[in-house]
Structure 1
Amino acid sequence: MHNYYIYVAFCLSIKSDGPKSMKLLLFTLLICSTAFAELTAQTAAINGAWQLNEGDKTHNLLLTDGFYFHTIYQGKQLIMTQGGSYEIKGNKLACSSLFNSADSTKVGTLTDIPFSLTAGQLRLDVPEGRVNFKRIDEGKAPLAGVWRITGRMGDDGKINAIHQTGTRQTYKMLTGTKFQWVAIDPAKKQFSGTGGGSYIFKDGKYTENIEFFSRDNSRVGASLVFDGKLENGDWHHSGLSSKGAKIYEVWSKTAM
């Protein structure tokens, strides 16, 4: 996407010395806009939640706003989770790793994964072989996106801004029906925790149904209900945490 804008800027910098130059410029812009439209359509097509069942293991793959999260769990046991950013380059997903709970040496590495879409399935050619993920949702919902916490209410009832310091990061991704949060530090190749499952957001109530939780798998199967609202593009989230502590948080969207 970024390359598209750079290329258009380059096209616009061409001096027009006559009708031929103008025609060439317009033709080039048409090619650029067509390529951009195709890229946008591809990105929208793979957005959402995907799932693969491997025996009694479940693979969740969430894709939205240039981020991907891939998680494997078995019953209540989290096996591993990994994720990062991606771009679509032709028929490949160009992935850059931000975290990997099973192998920290992979953080910061780049991987090109050939892919194709057919009849509600996402086919990936990974080093281990070809796999087919089944679509769970299309990533369309009011809360769909990738969020970072930017504010928290203090004891005085005022919302205090959270200013990011250091390299530690906390993300929460939501598709149409699935959610996952991760606490990571890419600079230190450190993974601190994750949790996820399905969610419902309706009539000002946000409900999470936990399907995996790295810090305490006894929480798997539990449902947490929060008050939620979108205000000026931010997500206000309040209620009781999994530990029973009162919270009021403000989350803002982010994208690669």
Structure 2
Amino acid sequence: MKKIPAFLWLCLALTLWSAQAPVPADNPLVGAWRLEKSSQEDGLDGVTIVRILSPSYTMMAAYREGEFIGSSGGSYTFDPESGESLYTVDYNTWDSSMVGRELPATIEVSDDRMFVRWEEDNMTFEDMWVRLDAGDSPLAGHWKIRARARDGEMVEIHQRGTRQTIKILSGTRFQWTAMDYGTKQFMGCGGGTYTFEDGVYTEHIEFFSRDNSRVGMSLSFEGKVEGDDWHHSGKSSRGQPISEIWARQ
């Protein structure tokens, strides 16, 4: 498979409209999307590429069954009137030199698809994504870890500088990433689908950069949202007890 370009974030898809999952009026890009077709890539067979967008942050991961391929993420802006979008790269596992770059694109919506065009080396590319959900969940959004239990007490985590542990969720999908955009380092990521019912948050892991053997595992946590804090506790993929607080960004 060819190297997946850093700007795959550019190719965003329109939603499947439904009464149960209305598209956010102020930003129709919010939610989860799957790459359907790329004019630049001819080696996508068997590879799943999913992007999650909050109102101002996005992460993308590429993987096939049992194999993590790569990921990128960062902040973005979008003007629904002009269709212009600008993405600032925080991390990129394929090419760390992309970190800090600003990448523009133009988006055109047609029916249940979104076609995104961008230029590189005097060539125009177009990709198409399909919506998986519209971010209709109390957990949907961009989160940063704020505190973790140690020796029975909740201890604040002070993430100084540019190192970050962040998580992004749509209505049905999640991804977490540990990275340092100042040093352009990537420490790891994982993601997949999730459910949140009756105070129980359950992750179903579809990719895990540090250990492919974790793929297929399901992890359940007790969870609740209080204001801009998300509390959850349970056991990690290693079977160790964890209790954390994540702050909405």
| Range into which the TM-score falls when normalised by the shorter chain | 0.7 to 0.9
Structure 1 residue matching 2:27: 3-state secondary structure: helix
Trace 1:39-78 onto structure 2 (pairs within 5 A): 43-53=26-36, 54-78=44-68
CA distance in 2: counterparts of 1:212 and 1:107, whole angstroms? 22
Aligned residue for 1:122, secondary structure, equals strand
Q: State the Cα deviation string for residues 131-182 of structure 1 (Å, max 9, x = none).
A: 1111000012110000011111221x32221122232101100000000000
> Can you give the 5+ residue segments of structure 2 that lack an aligned partner in the other structure?
1-22, 37-43
User: Could you report, residue by residue, the CA deviation over 1:77-102 in whole angstroms, capped at 9, with x for unpaired residues?
Assistant: 11111110101142121010000001
Structure 1 vs Structure 2 CA RMSD: 1.7
Deviation at 1:41, TM superposition (A): 6.3
What do residues 6-63 of structure 1 show as CA deviations (whole Å, max 9, x unaligned)? xxxxxxxxxxxxxxxxxxxxxxxxxxxxxxxxxx966521110000243211110111
Following superposition, the deviation at residue 116 of structure 1 comes to 2.0
CA distance in 1 between counterparts of 2:115 and 2:231 reads 36
The TM-score normalised by the length of structure 1 is 0.79
1:111 aligns with 2:103: yes
- Alpha-carbon separation, structure 2, partners of 1:104 and 1:124: 23
Q: Find the counterpart in structure 2 of residue 10 from structure 1.
A: none
Assess if the C-alpha contact under 8 Å between 1:43 and 1:88 holds in 2. no
Distance 1:214 1:253, change over 3 A: same
The equivalent position to 1:92 in structure 2, one of 67, 75, 84, is 84
Question: For the residues of structure 1 that align with 2:113 and 2:59, how far apart are their CA atoms?
Answer: 17
- Please give the alpha-carbon distance, in whole angstroms, between the structure 2 residues aligned to 1:221 and 1:126: 35
Cα deviation for residue 206 of structure 1 reads 0.4
Instruction: Give structure 1 stretches of 5+ with no counterpart.
Output: 1-39
The reply to whether residue 196 of structure 1 matches residue 191 of structure 2 is yes
Larger RCO (alpha carbons 8 Å, 6+ apart): 2
Distance 2:25 2:104 in 1: 16
CA distance in 1, matches of 2:184, 2:92: 8
Q: Does 1:150 align with 2:146?
A: yes
Q: 1:221 to 1:126 in 2, by over 3 A?
A: farther
CA contact (8 A) 2:107 2:114 kept: yes
Query: 1:1-256 residue pairs with structure 2 within 5 A?
Result: 43-53=26-36, 54-89=44-79, 90-127=82-119, 129-155=125-151, 157-254=152-249
Aligned residues: 214
Q: Is the 8 A contact 1:184 1:193 kept in 2?
A: yes
Larger Rg: 1
Q: Is the 8 A contact 1:46 1:122 kept in 2?
A: no
Distance in 2 separating the partners of 1:206 and 1:127: 41
| Bigger share in helix | 1
Cα deviation, residue 126, structure 1: 4.1
CA distance in 2, matches of 1:211, 1:147: 20
Question: Deviation at 1:233?
Answer: 2.7
Instruction: Sort the Cα spacing of 1:204 and 1:216 in 2 relative to 1 into closer, same or farther, 3 A.
Output: same
Pair 41,243 (structure 1): closer, same or farther in 2 beyond 3 Å: closer
- Is the Cα contact below 8 Å between 2:143 and 2:166 reproduced in 1? yes
Distance change (3 Å), C-alpha of 1:132 and 1:151: same
In the superposition, the TM-score normalised over structure 2's length comes to 0.82
Residue 51 of structure 1 aligns with an amino acid whose one-letter code is R
Q: 1:113 to 1:43 in 2, by over 3 A?
A: farther
What residue is the counterpart of 1:32 in the other structure? none
